[in-house]
Amino acid sequence: MDLKKYIRSIPDYPKKGILFRDITTLIKDKDAFKECIDQMSKILMKLNFDKIASIESRGFVFASALCYNLSKSLILMRKKNKLPAAKYSQDFQLEYGKSTLEIHKDSIKPKE
C-alpha cells in the first residue's frame, strides 16, 4: 500500500512557504493507519530500545499504537508548561518560529 496517497499536502499552511502534511487523511482510513503502524513496527522490531518518545500532538497517535504493538513505554514530549511535575526542557527552531518541548524528569532513567 502506498501510504503517501493518504497524506494530504497543504501549501502555505500555517504560513506562506510551508508545505503542511495533513495526517488526518491517513488516520481516518483504518486500513491505511493499520498498514502504517505495521510498517513502522516492522522497522522498529529490529532495534534495541526501551521507550518511544513522541512529540505533541500528532505524534501521540502513532507512538501510542507503536508502543502497544511493541510492548514499549511511551514518553510524552509536550509543549512548554503542559506538564505538572519536574521536567526537562529543550528549546528548538521551527520553520516558522521557535518552540520548547518538555518531558517529565521521571519519564526516563539513565541507560534507557
What is the CATH code for 3-78? 3.40.50.2020
Domain extents in the chain: 3-78
Give the pLDDT confidence score for residue 95 in this predicted structure. 77
Give the pLDDT confidence score for residue 94 in this predicted structure. 83
Span 15-67, pLDDT tens digits: 899 999 999 999 999 999 999 999 999 999 999 999 999 999 899 999 999 99
Looking at 28-80, which runs of residues are DSSP E strands? 51-55, 73-79
- How many C-beta atoms lie closer than 10 Å to residue 46's C-beta? 6
Give the pLDDT confidence score for residue 97 in this predicted structure. 82
pLDDT band at 112 (very low <50, low <70, confident <90, very high): confident
Whole-model pTM? 0.87
Grid cell for residue 69: 504493538
